[in-house]
Amino acid sequence: MSKAIPVIAIDGPSASGKGTVAQQVARILGFHFLDSGALYRLVALASFAGAQQHSEAELATLARELDARFDGDRIILENKDVTDALREESCGRHASVVAAIPAVRASLLARQRAFRREPGLVADGRDMGTVVFPDAGLKVFLTASAEERARRRYKQLIEKGMDANLPSLLRDLEERDRRDMARSSAPLVAAADALMVDSSKLGADQVVELVLGEWRKKQNRVL
């Protein structure tokens, strides 16, 4: 049944603007929104507690049993609001390490697919169009140059009152891209049928318009 519920998959590397674009598209269409990266960040954050080293099997169990919920724009882990802690670069870096473990990815699959509810879903991540929702009605792969992405991430962090350093952000992004692309399980790669969008010279609103235009075109073709 859920296969009939429309999905728009928006994938791409760190700080390519996926999150902003996906949220706006979801809001305009009245669709649900899945920030799949937040799930990997939650696993990373939960694994910091207690400071002990976890085996891959323990991390997979932790991912499967994660006591987390999305409450509007807040993210709650074990009754604690962890929204800001999740955005820390250290958490993103560790998320990309745990995300390379196939058993962790498998543990999060059902949780991600459960976001597919009427009237539709906009899903943001790395493997939304390739692995999690391969039947998505529209797949977008959003990129931008590493320099532009580092500048955007810098601005985001500063606006949130967090510490940021541009050269180290650029290094981190490039390292994370390499790890996300090189892993054997669900690597960061565009689906063969994805619309490729380079947002280096486009504002978020322009990308939103482009995605909505593409979605409407597809809907008209179906009707």
Q: Give residues in contact with ligand CDP (CB under 6 A).
A: 14-15, 36-37, 40-41, 92, 95-96, 99, 125-127, 176, 180
Orientation angle between helical segments 89-98 and 36-48, nearest 10 degrees: 100
User: In the complex, what is the shortest distance from the CB of residue 36 to ligand CDP, in angstroms, rounded to a whole number?
Assistant: 4
What is d(CA 101, CA 120) in angstroms, rounded to the nearest whole number? 29
φ, ψ of residue 118 to 5 degrees: the values are: -60, 145
Judged by beta carbon, residue 32 or residue 176, the one nearer ligand CDP is 176
User: In the complex, what is the shortest distance from the CB of residue 178 to ligand CDP, in angstroms, rounded to a whole number?
Assistant: 11
What is d(CA 220, CA 65) in angstroms, rounded to the nearest whole number? 41
Of the candidates 130, 132, 166, the one whose C-alpha atom is nearest the C-alpha of residue 147 is 166
What is d(CA 219, CA 67) in angstroms, rounded to the nearest whole number? 37
User: In the complex, what is the shortest distance from the CB of residue 215 to ligand CDP, in angstroms, rounded to a whole number?
Assistant: 20
Judged by beta carbon, residue 116 or residue 126, the one nearer ligand CDP is 126
Judged by beta carbon, residue 26 or residue 127, the one nearer ligand CDP is 127
User: In the complex, what is the shortest distance from the CB of residue 99 to ligand CDP, in angstroms, rounded to a whole number?
Assistant: 3
Judged by beta carbon, residue 56 or residue 213, the one nearer ligand CDP is 56
